[in-house]
Chains A and B, each alone.
Chain A
Amino acid sequence: MHNYFIKYNNLIIWAMSTINNTKHTDSLDQLLQNTYSNYSVPEPNVGSWLKVKNKVAKHNFLKFNPMHFNVYYAVIATIVTIGVGVHLYLSNENEEKSIHNIQTEQVLTEPTIENTPLDNKNPSEVETEQLLPVADQNKIPSDANENANEEIIIAEEHVENTTHIATEDQRMLNKETSESEEEQIKEDRIDNEKPLIINEALEETTSNNEVTEKSGFNNTITIDSTEVLNDEDKKTKQPVIINREPVVQTDTIVKVIKKKRKRRK
């Protein structure tokens, strides 16, 4: 009986100790719960809410929300504004261009006297330029023009030379007339017949040259060469002007006259 009592006594002590332990732990838990139930710490920094607010606002701005203004709306708004701006700028530029083109067309279609390069030219030059379209209408080939120009240049040189020679010949003729009256009469006859003879001579000289016919030159003594231009002169639109005085190739004419005389004799 005593042994049983000792055994049960130990069990009761163990049971009491465990109960006591649980009571202590429960009291500790309660103590902790009571201390931390409404445990609050005041705000140390004033700007903590501002940090949270800015962070949330930034997040909301970057996130799409149909009810709030965000980055997607901002991008769309910027794209639209840029597009409208570019469109308006381009339309204004096109309008300016069109106005400028209309003005330039008006200027081109209605040329004034001031714009023409004929102001500082002589009347003869103006006449030559006015004759240019006639040459274009005849459609002179480029080779023919070149040949004609060569001929004209030669003629020019001859004119320069022959003016001196003609004067000398006249002097000589005057001397001859003084020597004999008969010869003077003959010379007078020859002088009267000069145009016809010269025409015949020119026909002979220019028979092989088709250029004169194509270029519209008359088979007269006066050679109007102003219609023919060099290439370089065409570019600059300043035609070579040759004196419109009658060109007389005295050497050739005299030779021809002598031949005619011989034939007649």
Chain B
Amino acid sequence: MEAFLTQSLLYNKIAKTETAIIIMNEKSLVAKCKKQKQSAQFEAYQKYAPLLRGVCCRYIINKDEAEDVLQEGFFRIFTQIEKFTYTGENSFFYWMKRVVINHALNYLKKQKKERFDESFKDEHLFIADENSDDIFNTDYSKYTKENIISAVEMLPLPFRMVLNMAVIDGLKHKEIAGALSIAEETSRSRLTRAKQMLRKNLIEVNSLVSVNA
């Protein structure tokens, strides 16, 4: 019993010191980045670039465009880092994530306006399937991570954006409406319809996988 207690205390201490090291590293990294030191910037890029690239790929499916948006996002991060104030653990990452998302949304607004218009035409097609019985009888445990990602990528752009912002990034409808310059009601309706479409996509993907198997 005593041995178990000592072990648990030791693990707690190790965990605390690890978190402390991480926090100190992040804090010192931010301070060095504020001084425009290239070594710190490179360290931050190596640490956060894969995660932020994933964020970009959620909003922009084309990988080359996503890479361009990521580079521009990092440029903004390193040039506007003086505006950031360190508040706690992962605050730097969340701030960087927000900067990249805003840039991705601006990019999509400027470059992909035609895609927005095209995807709006398909909005009414999914209203008929709203009361289908299969929606509530799905078992999500059987879907793999790749299937889910491909099902999300199949969604039309405005719905995918709202789904990303609301469900994955945890933004409120007011913020989404402000970012996409739409009404809050539109944001809510798009979210519900996005979920319906996702369920349908998941079923389709699952059926395709089972047929191939």
Contact = CB atoms under 8 A, between A and B. Distances in A.
Given A43-B50, A53-B41, A59-B79, A24 B36 contact: no
B168 A31 contact: no
Interface string B46-81: 100111011101100001001100110011001100
A49 B42 contact: yes
Contacts of B193: none
Interface stretch (A34-42, A74-82, A97-105, A146-154): A34-42
Interface in B188-213: 195, 198-199
Interface residues of B, number: 39
Interface residues of A, number: 34
Contact of A32 (B35, B66, B152): B152
A43 B136 contact: no
A90 B43 CA distance: 52
A55 B66 CA distance: 17
Nearest to B168: A36
A48 B72 CA distance: 11
A44 interface: yes
Given A25-B195, A36-B168, A31 B45 contact: no
B4 interface: no
Contacts of B36: 56, 60, 65, 68
A28 B66 CA distance: 26
A55 B58 contact: no
Determine the main DSSP class of A at the interface with B.
Answer: helix
B167 interface: yes
Interface in A1-49: 17, 20-21, 24-25, 27-29, 31-33, 35-36, 38-45, 48-49
A108 interface: no
Given A53-B42, A56-B75, A59-B79, A40 B67 contact: no
B167 A33 contact: yes
Contacts of A113: none
B126 to A, nearest CB: 15
B32 to A, nearest CB: 13
Determine the main DSSP class of B at the interface with A.
Answer: helix
B148 A56 contact: no
Contacts, number: 88
Interface in B155-169: 163, 167-168
B99 interface: no
Interface in B93-133: none
B136 A24 contact: yes
Interface string A166-185: 00000000000000000000
Given A25-B195, A53-B41, A41 B57 contact: yes
A235 interface: no
A51 interface: yes
Given A17-B136, A38-B51, A56-B79, 20 more contacts: A28-B195, A28-B198, A31-B140, A31-B143, A31-B148, A32-B168, A35-B145, A36-B54, A36-B168, A39-B149, A40-B51, A41-B53, A41-B57, A43-B49, A44-B67, A48-B70, A52-B45, A56-B36, A60-B36, A68-B36
Interface of B: 35-36, 38, 41-42, 45-46, 49-51, 53-55, 57-58, 63, 66-67, 70-71, 74-75, 78-79, 135-136, 138, 140, 143, 145, 148-149, 152, 163, 167-168, 195, 198-199
5 contacts: A39-B58, A39-B149, A40-B53, A56-B36, A56-B78
Q: Report, nearest first, the 7 A-B pairs whose CB atoms are least far apart.
A: A40-B50, A39-B54, A41-B53, A36-B168, A40-B54, A35-B148, A52-B74
Interface of A: 17, 20-21, 24-25, 27-29, 31-33, 35-36, 38-45, 48-49, 51-53, 55-57, 59-60, 65, 67-68
